Amino acid sequence: MYTFEIIVGTTLGSAEYVADHLTEKLIDQGFQVNIHLDPQLKNLPINKNNPWIICTATHGAGDYPDNIAPLAQQLAQDRPDLSNVRYSIVALGSKSYDQFCNAGHMIDRQLAQLNGEKVAITLEICTLETPIPEDAIDIWYPEWAKNWL
Ligand SMILES: Cc1cc2nc3c(=O)[nH]c(=O)nc-3n(C[C@H](O)[C@H](O)[C@H](O)COP(=O)(O)O)c2cc1C
């Protein structure tokens, strides 16, 4: 049985609400979950039984939220081999900005370069189109969850 490591990147809290909602769904299905609001590479298991879910907003001009930026720096510096890490990306953003969901796409590229194995395409949530972003999780979850059964 998997323990999911949900890595949150947030400034205003929406990505954390989305992570909490996803956690409820995973726990209902019998999985275990660790939420990382101050994600640090040293606290993240590199293990097939601990898939990573990166749930991050984009801030500034296509930038990482401050709380997840250190993880991106640690990945760039330490360059761990992530071939045992399966990961998925949930990216929050707004299409009113040029670089829609760019933080999610940046960390996706980083994890792929480090040999992480991506499971499912990135879920992009536009908060203009989906004012309650948790609603997008409800639609996405059933198909995505089949990867872990
Ligand atoms: C100052 C600011 C800058 C933003 N920049 C971007 C951006 O470059 N690209 C994008 O897709 N969304 C951008 N957004 C939208 C946020 O990613 C979106 O509102 C998200 O839901 C915020 O999540 P959070 O509450 O977890 O921080 C920006 C929002 C703010 C307030």
The residue ranges of every structural domain in the chain are 3-143
The tens digit of pLDDT for each residue in 23-51 reads 999 999 999 999 999 999 999 999 999 99
Residue owning the nearest CA to atom 29 of ligand 1: 59
- Centre of ligand 1 to C-alpha 112, Å, is 24
Mutate to test the pocket of ligand 1, among 37, 94, 105, 127 (most ligand atoms within 8 A of CB): 94
User: In Å, how far are 30, 68, 92, 102 from 146, measured between CA atoms?
Assistant: 14, 28, 22, 27
At 2, the pLDDT band (50, 70, 90 cuts) reads very high
Residues in the ligand 1 pocket, defined by CB under 6 Å: 10-15, 57-62, 65, 92-94, 97, 99-102, 127
CATH class of 3-143: alpha beta
Type and span of the H or E element at 7: strand 3-9
CB 75 within 8 A of CB 47: no
Provide the residue type at 85 as one letter.
V
The tens digit of pLDDT for each residue in 107-131 reads 999 999 999 999 999 999 999 999 9
The pLDDT, as a whole number, for residue 1 is: 87
The pLDDT, as a whole number, for residue 125 is: 98
Helices in 2-133 by DSSP H: which ranges?
14-28, 69-78, 102-113
Taking the CA atoms of residue 52, residue 100, residue 22 and residue 78 in that order, the dihedral angle to the nearest 10 degrees is 20
